[in-house]
Amino acid sequence: MSKVLVIDTNKRQLDPIHSAQARQLLRNQKAAVYRQFPFTIILKDSKSDLVVQPLRLKIDPGAKVTGFSIVNDSSREIVFAAELQHRGFAIRDSLTSRRQLRRGRRARKTRYRAPRFLNRTRPQGWLAPSLQSRVENIKTWVEKFQKLSPIGAISQELVRFDMQLMSNPEISGKEYQQGTLQGYETREYLLEKWCRQCAYCGIKDVPFQVEHIHPRANGGSNSVTNLSLSCEKCNTKKGTKDIKEFLKKDPARLERILKQAKRPLADAAAVNTTRWALFRVLKETGLPIETGSGGLTKFNRSEQKLEKTHWLDAACVGKSTPILKIKGIKPLLIKATGHGSRQSCRTDKFGFPSRYVPKFKFVKGFQTGDIVKAIVVTGKKVGEHVGRVAVRTSGSFNISTKDGLVQGISHKYCFAIHKKDGYSYAF
């Protein structure tokens, strides 16, 4: 079961404790709630004499979702788990929309514009905003975990797929070619690239075989651009036929497979682009960093027969992975929402102003994005409502709860349980 993070009155990180023990401390008023997400309690006295056991923070970076696991290497327990959903693709779409609107304005207003050529140079290590946001999100949460738990080491999945290893199997020794790790890098890459289904018939949830698009018997190579996934039936049926002959009656599928074979994996490209920037950020913490590849992560997970989730992938990163105890773990689901925009007005799809935006964010001490608890004692909305609040200048707020949207709740009934920090939370 996920444990509760603990700090003492001097904000020194202590060993996480069982939730029942945390409830007892709160009931006896020996501790107070320090933070709701992730749930942390603060003791009302100092515990400087306690010996604290260092934990390992394990990270599985992803293009859309990053997994976190805090593992106690000695007891093999997963102390805490979380999954962070990035907003990189939303940032990319917003920048694309803004660029289109800007170009539209320039086309309508054809005044002379002076040539510009030296004001757009990019500094060394520059990343696109959609990629930089992923690095910053992970950095933010590593710093939070360091403040709330005794992190002594970090494990990072440095590469989703070892592209160099797939091109040259001898690069890391014969154990990759002949040992227990044989083919894991290539198979995991193909599963992601072909959406875990047969390239020829589209069947899912069956054992797959690695199949050469252009047969080896006819001069086809072992390059990953010439490999696909196939079920046993299709692989046997295709045999040593050329793909054009095999799919001559289905030209649409033939075109799709040939196009997909040459297409790079977008999510893997995003992860590979940011991997060294993230590694440098983690090195700045001063903690020892262990790295591993996606193939090794899958090998560790498969050996322990664990299901594929982002937080379990994180727990299986690196060679230090022990036989894990995962009973009762419920990961915290974190979604990056940003801190709002600086637009002075909202626009329609054509870029024209459509509605006014107030200049101030706070209303009666609340701002949109705060997680609040409203206890309504009169009227049609009697009861307790917990969720994300959207403020209105009138003081009548809307609260998004797990059961739906509750509108028209007065600020007098609300009190904040977690201030807006750019993320939303769920279990």
Q: What is the pLDDT of residues 121-136, one digit of tens each?
A: 788 889 999 999 999 9
Report yes or no on 257 lying in a domain. yes
Q: At residue 176, does pLDDT exceed 50?
A: no
Report the distance separating Cα 238 and Cα 234, nearest Å. 6
Report yes or no on 358 lying in a domain. yes
Q: Which amino acid is at 392?
A: R
Do 151 and 281 belong together in one domain? yes
Beta 383-390 vs 65-72: how paired, if at all? unpaired
Question: Which tens digit of pLDDT belongs to each residue from 110-124?
Answer: 666 666 677 777 888
Region 233-255 average pLDDT: 88
Q: What is the pLDDT of residue 171?
A: 45
Report yes or no on 125 lying in a domain. no
Do 234 and 169 belong together in one domain? yes
> Comparing C-alpha atoms, which of 12, 65, 2, 40 is closest to residue 418?
40
For the chain, the domain total comes to 4
Do 417 and 280 belong together in one domain? no
Cα–Cα distances in Å, from 187 out to 22, 169, 297, 333?
Answer: 44, 13, 13, 28
Contact 53, 150 (CB under 8 A): yes
* Position 411 confidence tier, pLDDT thresholds 50, 70, 90: very high
Share of the chain above pLDDT 90, in %: 45
Do 135 and 282 belong together in one domain? yes
> Comparing C-alpha atoms, which of 37, 43, 52, 33 is closest to residue 10?
43
Q: At residue 408, does pLDDT exceed 50?
A: yes
Name beta bridge partners: 363. Answer: 366
The mean pLDDT value of the chain amounts to: 86
* Angle of the 129-148 helix axis to the 88-108 helix axis, nearest 10: 150
Do 322 and 352 belong together in one domain? no
Q: Name the more confident of 132 and 344.
A: 132
What domain range is 175 assigned to? 164-262
Which of 262, 295, 325 is the last residue before a domain boundary?
A: 262
Q: What is the pLDDT of residue 309?
A: 92
Question: Which tens digit of pLDDT belongs to each residue from 355-374?
Answer: 888 888 899 999 999 999 99
Do 255 and 278 belong together in one domain? no
Beta 77-85 vs 332-336: how paired, if at all? parallel
Phi, psi of 162 (to 5 degrees): -85, 90
Q: Which amino acid is at 311?
A: W
Q: What is the pLDDT of residue 264?
A: 66
Which of 316, 336, 356 is the last residue before a domain boundary?
A: 336
**CATH number, domain with residue 289:** 3.30.420.10
Q: At residue 174, does pLDDT exceed 50?
A: no
Region 379-404 average pLDDT: 91
Report yes or no on 98 lying in a domain. no
> Comparing C-alpha atoms, which of 289, 301, 329, 275 is closest to residue 62?
275
Do 182 and 316 belong together in one domain? no
Question: Which tens digit of pLDDT belongs to each residue from 151-161?
Answer: 999 999 987 65
Q: What is the pLDDT of residue 216?
A: 85
Question: Going along 44-150, which residue ranges are E strands?
Answer: 55-60, 65-72, 77-85
Name beta bridge partners: 5. Answer: 40
Q: What is the DSSP string of 63-76?
A: SSEEEEEEEETTTT
DSSP H helices, 180-325, are: 184-193, 232-238, 243-246, 251-262, 266-283, 294-303, 310-315
Q: Is 53 helix (H, G, I), strand (E, B) or coil?
A: coil
Report yes or no on 405 lying in a domain. yes
Region 8-17 average pLDDT: 93
Beta 55-60 vs 151-159: how paired, if at all? parallel
> Comparing C-alpha atoms, which of 427, 418, 324 is closest to residue 33?
418
* Position 265 confidence tier, pLDDT thresholds 50, 70, 90: low
Which of 314, 336, 358 is the last residue before a domain boundary?
A: 336
Q: What is the pLDDT of residue 185?
A: 65
Q: How many CA atoms lie within 13 A of 365 on its CB side?
A: 10
Do 154 and 60 belong together in one domain? yes
Do 153 and 299 belong together in one domain? yes
Question: Which tens digit of pLDDT belongs to each residue from 191-218?
Answer: 878 888 898 988 888 888 888 888 888 8
Report yes or no on 416 lying in a domain. yes
Q: At residue 170, does pLDDT exceed 80?
A: no
**CATH number, domain with residue 355:** 2.30.30
Report the distance separating Cα 322 and Cα 59, nearest Å. 15
Q: What is the pLDDT of residue 263?
A: 72
Report yes or no on 296 lying in a domain. yes
Length of the chain: 427
Q: What is the pLDDT of residue 178?
A: 44
Do 168 and 207 belong together in one domain? yes
Do 146 and 276 belong together in one domain? yes
Do 253 and 182 belong together in one domain? yes
Question: Which tens digit of pLDDT belongs to each residue from 65-112?
Answer: 999 999 999 999 999 999 999 998 899 998 998 888 777 777 776 666
Report yes or no on 93 lying in a domain. no
**CATH number, domain with residue 190:** 1.10.30
* Position 278 confidence tier, pLDDT thresholds 50, 70, 90: very high
Q: What is the pLDDT of residue 26?
A: 95
